[in-house]
Amino acid sequence: MEKLDRNLKPDKNLAAVCGLYCPGCSLLIGTHEEPARLESMALRMGRTVDELRCNGCRSDRRCFYCTSMCQMKTCAAEKGVEFCGECADFPCPTLKTFQAERPHRIELWQSLNQIRDEGWEAWFAAMTAHYACDQCGALNSAYDMRCRKCHGDPSCAYVGLHKDEVLRHLGK
């Protein structure tokens, strides 16, 4: 996998069916660049590191949540669509519940609309810029308040827009 920074090329394995941008996920960052992050998350979640390793939504290597709890990938395959935004039922009750559960999912509707209207590659490029640190270009997760590489604040545009919701969710 390429380095997780603003130069990341569009990769459909990293474009989740539900509209999430996989390179902005702490699990993917931990899998590919920060093993200590993955170890810490495994300890906190009561899971093994191996259960958290992930190469993206469409890859053969997905975390426990995406393999056992996510319903969107299976549903999309059954309906013959690549992204939830292409479905006649969008947004369905399952996707609405999923979106409302965590702050890293706040922008799902915008993402899925952009994928439908402009194509997944244009969306991927926009999300890469959205999650990249303005100072050093490292891709950060929605939960990285400061850049994981240069400690810039905020870590990325996503955090700049949604910091209050993320901190509320984290109990801070």
Does residue 1 register a pLDDT over 90? no
Task: Round the CA-based radius of gyration of the chain to a whole number and report it.
Answer: 15
Q: Is 5 inside a domain boundary?
A: no
Q: Is 134 inside a domain boundary?
A: yes
Q: Identify the pLDDT of residue 41.
A: 96
Q: Identify the pLDDT of residue 109.
A: 96
Q: Can you give the residue range of the structural domain that contains 58?
A: 12-169
Q: Report the domain count for the chain.
A: 1
Calculate helix-pair angle for 72-79, 93-101, nearest 10 degrees: 150
C-alpha distances out from residue 110 to 19, 74, 75, 84, Å: 9, 22, 20, 12
Model pTM score: 0.94
- 34-43 pLDDT, tens digit each: 999 999 999 9
Q: Is 2 inside a domain boundary?
A: no
Q: Is 27 inside a domain boundary?
A: yes
Q: Is 76 inside a domain boundary?
A: yes
pLDDT level of residue 2 (50, 70, 90 thresholds)? confident
Q: Is 46 inside a domain boundary?
A: yes
72 neighbors 78 (Cβ within 8 angstroms):
no
